[in-house]
Amino acid sequence: MKRVKCPKCDQSITFDETRYQEGQALVFECPVCHRQFGIRMGASKLMATRKDERNQPLEDNTPSDCGKLLVIENVFHYKQTLELRMGDNVIGRYVQGSGINTPIETVDPSVDTTHCVINVRQDKAGRFIYTLRDGPSGTGTFVGNTILRDNDRLRIEDGTIITIGATTMILRAAGCEDEETTAESR
């Protein structure tokens, strides 16, 4: 059994994925809010690439959990989680061959291919420090209602809301439980 979530109310819907072929499009209606939404069976090419990257051995002394970004497309209601790594995490729209290391799988045209960068490092006490800067991008990078200028560097922490184009990202610092994990484990 496979589970999908309604993009409007987050209600879980389960179905038997063995009854459908890869590439087949399915349409669901949420039993709670009655929103209709569709999915396509099969794994995306980007997700398969990320799995291959995760199976690569880590360099010596590199922490495996450096935090993550919860990405929510405001207009398209698509959610994804991006794992952060030490150093610069170049964030932008996935385009084959772009060379960014933290791609967002999106059709949002207002997200540039190199929209912003989150640098992850550790201080002497071992705490993670997250620093955000703009790409520079065409539509800007916002933290709250404040836009970052090209040379701005802003230290961010767990729960910081970042907006790029029509997409919102929420930083979940290393060691902090995210709400989805907590809700699913109950």
Average pLDDT, integer, range 156-174: 93
What's the confidence (pLDDT) of residue 182?
40
Q: Which residues contact 46 (CB under 8 A, 6 or more apart)?
A: 94, 103, 105
What's the confidence (pLDDT) of residue 89?
96
Phi, psi of 7 (to 5 degrees): -70, -15
Sign of CA dihedral 133, 139, 142, 146: positive
> Is residue 61 scored above 70 in pLDDT?
no
Lowest mean pLDDT among 8-17, 53-62, 137-146, 148-157: 53-62
Better-predicted residue by pLDDT, 166 or 41: 166
Residue 37 corresponds to which amino acid?
A: F
Average pLDDT, integer, range 86-94: 93
45-56+64-181 CATH, one of 3.30.1360.200, 2.60.200.20, 3.30.390.10, 1.20.1250.20: 2.60.200.20
Give the residue range(s) of CATH 2.60.200.20 domains in the chain: 45-56+64-181
